[in-house]
Each structure stands twice: as structure tokens, then as C-alpha cells.
Amino acid sequence: MKKWLFALAVMILLVAQSCQKNEEYVPEPYTCNCGSVRWGGITYPLLDANYVLVDTNEFFTRRYYITANTTAENSTVKESVSLIFEFPTVTFPIFTYSPEAPEFACKVYVRNDGDSFFENREFVPIAGEVLIDPALAGGSEKVVFDLSVREILDGDTIGLPQSIKGSFNVFVGN
């Protein structure tokens, strides 16, 4: 009987010690420390920057994907901006965008969970430049962009031009 009471006392003591109140968990947003984007006059750190080869047989083709959390401080409504760039080759350092002769393709996606009418918006460039410091032998590849974009709705551009600019780095493996 004494062994049973001793075992019960030890178990109660262990349970009591294992139950403790900790500070409330506060999630910290993930950032990749790989660049930033300026949208709506505010600069945001990127959450992610990646690339893929557009043509797997051509090492110098690129499709870049970047995303930033644009949720206002103390807001419960989630917002983000994402860009996709596509280049036939990155062997040239400067790419200019004009609707008549685009040297690259680009789309900007804005997501706003609090706007039931325009939760997902899409923008296309109307002018701008992208500078790429290519990692031709592999390594860190830096991209700097400065674009003027307009919203696209049902295939038509609408609204006034908006500025989006920033820079990011991706690691290109061999």
C-alpha cells in the first residue's frame, strides 16, 4: 500500500510541475531576408523569392516569383502583393518594358482578404526597367526593378498608373 501511495504522490508531483503557464504565443512573420518591394508608397520585406528555368534546356532563362505581406500593422485583414517576371535570357543586364516591344513579361497580383468585390486584383506593366546581375556560373543573382503598372480587368487596363519597385536575390544552382 505504501508503494502505491508513494507512486501516486510522485505522479501528482510530476503532473503539477509539468503544468505551467507560459507567455501567450505571438507568431513572428517569416521573411527571407532576400529583398523588398515598394508598393503604395510603403516598403515591405519579401516573404519569398524564387526562380525556375523557363526552358529546362536553356540555363539562362528565368521566371522569378516574389511575394510580400502588405497587411497593415494591427490589421486583421490579410493583404499581399506577388510578382512574376519572365525573361527569355538573363545574359543582358538591362531590360526595358514598353507595350510596343516588351523585353520581358510581368504580372503583379494583389490579394486583399477584406475586399469581397476585389479580393484578387491583377496588374500589368506599362513601362519600366529591370536590371539583372546574373549568376552565369551559379550563385547569388540580384534583380532590381522599377515599374509603372495598371490594373487589368476583363482584359482592359483601368485606373491610374501605380509604381512598384524593389530588389531581390535568388540563389542559382548549377
**Residue 61 belongs to some domain of the structure:** yes
Beta bridge partners of 133: 142
Res. 17: pLDDT tops 70: no
For the chain, what is the domain count?
1
Q: Could you read off the pLDDT of 36-74 as tens digits, one per residue?
A: 999 999 999 999 999 999 988 888 999 999 999 998 888
Q: Could you read off the pLDDT of 142-165 as tens digits, one per residue?
A: 999 999 999 999 999 999 999 999
How would DSSP label each residue in 51-119? EE-SSTT-TT-EEEEEEEE-PPTT--S-EEEEEEEEES--SSSEEEE-TTS-SSEEEEEEEETT-SSSS
Q: Quote the domain boundaries for residue 65.
A: 29-172
pLDDT of residue 119: 81
Res. 174: pLDDT tops 80: no
**Residue 103 belongs to some domain of the structure:** yes
Mean pLDDT of 105-131: 90
**Residue 140 belongs to some domain of the structure:** yes
**Residue 7 belongs to some domain of the structure:** no
- Tally the C-alpha atoms within 13 A of residue 150's C-alpha that lie toward its C-beta: 14
C-alpha cell at 87: 525573361
Q: Which amino acid is at 62?
A: R
**Residue 122 belongs to some domain of the structure:** yes
**Residue 20 belongs to some domain of the structure:** no
Burial degree of 174 (CB within 10 A; 0-12, 13-18, 19+): exposed
